[in-house]
Amino acid sequence: MSAARIRQQTVGDGAARLSLVPVLMSAPSASRVFTRTMLHEDGELANAQDALILGVGVRTAEDVADAAREAVRAGAAALVVREPVPLDDETRALAEQGALAILGAPIGVDWLRLASYLAEEPTTARYGIDDDGDAAAASDLFDLANSLSSVLGGPVTIENNAHRILAFSADQAKGDEARKHSVLGHQVPQYYTEILARSGALRRIDSSATPVFLGSIGEGILPRVAMRVRAGGESLGSIWAIVDDELTPLQTGALTEAAAVASITLFRQRASSDAARRLRANEVLDLLAGGVQAREAAERLGYGSAPTSILAAAPAGRSGSPSDEAANLQRLADALGLYLHQLHPLSVAAPVGGTVYAVLPHLQEHPSADFARQVALTFSERFRHGRAVVVGVGGPAAQVTELQHARAAADRALRVLAHSYRDAQSRRVATDDEVQIESLLLRLSDQLTADGVSATGPLVDLRAHDAAHRTEYVATLAAWLDAFGDVGVAAETLHVHPNTFRYRLRKLNAIVGTELYDPQRRFGLMLQLRLFGMI
């Protein structure tokens, strides 16, 4: 049974259909509709609202209690645990309070086989999942994976460019831990894709028109063969098979032909997904414009009169090619859209330029500005796809006709966060009010640049000395000013001994001939350092 045939299924119906034992299932939990399946892993569950959690590795009463606590906190619909399920009174009460069903997987039922019934998460392309709602297309990919597996003699997976598992053959028990983890979680683990990227394997696969054999990837990882799926020169995904040795000519031909067949389905899914994304981007643009345009868009979407906030998000820092950046931005938009949809079904998110904008109507019970900020903070902490993400929060606007002002506020906050981001300890989320001074300085710096005004005075001499003699006097002065003259703190900032710092301070003072203890002079230097980007 393909997962496409069990869409919008209640927990009670799903348990009966999959022969799961209802260890704890009240009427409210049985009637809940589960929207997707997820693999339980260490750490907090992310994006698990209304999910059915597969508790692989959950065995003891303590494990069950921890998993149930995380599932309830995340709003999951059900937790599946291998029987016998050790359930204490506290966990039972917690699950009942959170309308969480706890289901038992009978001894002997293979997790991979169970996952095969739930392979496609029942969401729609509107929220960024690669699924056009066509059950036949999903079934075609599974049939293709099974047929190819019989020819190649090993378990097969078909994945998209984001390494999300779209379909797999039924013989995954023959796979290694990396493969099983991928199938159970519907996503290739990040550590594994990083191994492939570092080894150059992904680059080889991308550039090859024929199957690529990977004999040695890493410890505990079996040999594989991979084939890029393309349509008209555009990469759509890839097919992977665990094999013992390099392919025979017959097997090579079969895999090449399978990639051509898969390209038809993946291209159709891509076209459907692209159309949905374009529609979503237009909705977001109309809302961001404010005025009559926003009011008409809000009416089309069914918005009420609730306050509405704008989130402006972007990956921290820039790296990679323009195509990589575009893919990263789309991945961020998909993840943010899916996360916000769990909080409010009418929220929308889309990339616009180099920023992902999300429009979030507030729930009646969360009318304050703190709601959107907390949502952004939680998302930034949970987003684990490569680089960190920074989010500016604007609003809430009392009327959608005022959303252009909320967007401007979110933009200002995002710019400050992106400009000041240095490492994992940097701020990731802020409202415009929280960064008003930094925002004003950036805008003033823009105006000076537009007017052709450049820095003058002692700092110019100091910078020239640094360039000519490889000294660090500008950085020394900046650290001293930021520490309000505290030499110990300033020296620690630059990782030098306080005596070394004092020596540098005397030298730079001699070079510029400036009285550093004059308050007006100190303020002027601090302003120049920031306005002209000298630190």
pLDDT digit string (tens) for the chain, length 535 residues? 233 333 457 888 778 777 788 889 888 888 888 767 777 765 556 667 778 888 888 888 888 999 999 888 888 889 999 888 888 888 999 998 888 999 988 776 677 767 666 654 444 334 334 444 455 556 788 889 999 999 999 999 999 887 888 889 988 888 888 888 888 777 788 778 888 888 889 999 999 999 999 987 878 889 999 999 998 778 889 999 999 999 999 999 999 999 999 998 888 777 767 677 788 888 888 899 888 988 888 888 878 777 899 999 998 876 655 666 777 888 888 888 878 876 787 888 999 988 999 999 887 655 677 889 999 998 888 776 667 899 999 989 988 899 999 999 999 999 999 988 777 778 899 999 999 998 998 898 888 888 888 887 788 888 888 888 888 888 888 898 888 888 889 898 889 999 999 999 888 888 777 667 777 788 888 888 888 876 6
pLDDT value for 107: 74
Identify the DSSP state of 125: G
Collapsing DSSP to helix, strand or coil, 216 comes out as coil
Q: Tell me which fold the domain 458-531 belongs to.
A: Arc Repressor Mutant, subunit A (1.10.10)
pLDDT value for 1: 29
Collapsing DSSP to helix, strand or coil, 18 comes out as coil
- One-letter amino acid identity for 167? A
Q: Which CATH number fits domain 290-449: 3.30.70.270, 3.40.50.410, 1.10.287.3510, 3.40.1190.20?
A: 3.30.70.270
Collapsing DSSP to helix, strand or coil, 241 comes out as strand
DSSP H or E stretch at residue 227: strand 224-231
User: What token pair was written down for 62?
Assistant: 């303590």
pLDDT value for 130: 43
Task: Count the Cβ atoms, other than its own, within 10 Å of residue 150.
Answer: 12
Please report, for the chain, the start and end positions of each structural domain, with discontinuous segments joined by +.
Answer: 3-112, 125-272, 290-449, 458-531
Note the Cα 176 to chain centre separation in Å. Answer: 26
pLDDT value for 132: 43
CA-CA distance, 5 to 8, in Å (whole number)? Answer: 9
DSSP codes, 369-394: HHHHHHHHHHHHHH--SSS-EEEEEE
pLDDT value for 364: 62
User: What token pair was written down for 81?
Assistant: 């645990």
User: What token pair was written down for 198?
Assistant: 């570092």
CA-CA distance, 456 to 217, in Å (whole number)? Answer: 57
107's CB contacts (< 8 A; 6+ apart) are 82, 83
CB of 396 closer than 8 Å to CB of 403: no
In CATH terms, the superfamily for domain 125-272 is: GAF domain (3.30.450.40)
Closest Cα to residue 408, out of 290, 284, 280?
A: 290
CATH class for the region spanning 3-112? alpha beta
518's CB contacts (< 8 A; 6+ apart) are none
Q: Whats the size of the chain, residue-wise?
A: 535
